[in-house]
Chain A
Amino acid sequence: MPGEIAEITQVLREPGLAVTHAKGCDSALWHLIEAARQGDAASFDEIMVRYQRRVLNTAWRMLGNTEDARDAAQDVFLRVFKYLKSYRSAEDFDGWLYRIIVNVCRDIARKRPPAPPASYEAEVQNGELAGIAVAGGAEESAIQSQQRNIIAEALATLSRKEREALVLRDLEGFSTKEVARLLGSSQTTVRSQISSARKKIKLFKDRMMRQRRG
Chain B
Amino acid sequence: MDCKYITDKVWLYVEGDLQPTKQQMVTRHIASCRQCAGLVDEVIKSQQWLKSREAERFDDAALDSVRSGARQRIAELQGGRFRSLGMFGRLNWKPLIIACPILVLMCCFAAYWILDTRRISSVPRSIARNDGYSQDKHENGAVRPDIGVRGAAKVPVESHHKRRISRRTRPAPPGNSRVQDNLMANDETYQWPPLRIEIQTEDPNVRIIWFASPGDAPVPSGPDKSELEQERLCFQ
Contacts and interface: CB of A to CB of B under 8 A. Distances in A.
Interface stretch (A27-35, A51-59, A85-93, A106-114): A51-59
B18 to A, nearest CB: 8
Interface in B59-74: 59, 61-63, 65-67, 69-71, 73-74
A12 B12 contact: no
Contacts of B17: 176, 191, 194-195
B48 A205 contact: no
A17 B44 contact: no
Contacts of B66: 48, 52, 55-56, 70, 73-74, 77
B47 A73 contact: no
Interface string A93-107: 000000000000000
A148 B47 CA distance: 14
A157 interface: no
Contact of B30 (A5, A73, A128): A5
Given A52-B66, A56-B58, A128-B62, A170 B11 contact: no
B14 A2 contact: no
A66 to B, nearest CB: 7
Nearest to B8: A195
Nearest to B41: A5
A129 B46 contact: no
Interface size on B, as a range, is 35 or more
A151 B40 CA distance: 20
B34 interface: yes
Most chain B beta-carbon neighbours within 10 Å: one of A6, A8, A75, A194: A8
- The range of chain A's interface size is 35 or more
Interface in A56-71: 56-57, 60-61, 66, 70
Interface in A8-62: 8-9, 12-13, 17-18, 44-45, 48-49, 52-53, 55-57, 60-61
Contacts of A17: 51
A192 B183 CA distance: 100
A60 B53 contact: no
29 contacts: A4-B41, A5-B37, A5-B44, A6-B27, A12-B14, A17-B51, A53-B58, A56-B56, A57-B55, A70-B65, A75-B73, A81-B77, A127-B59, A128-B62, A129-B62, A130-B59, A144-B54, A169-B15, A170-B15, A171-B51, A171-B53, A194-B11, A194-B12, A195-B11, A195-B12, A196-B11, A198-B43, A198-B47, A202-B46
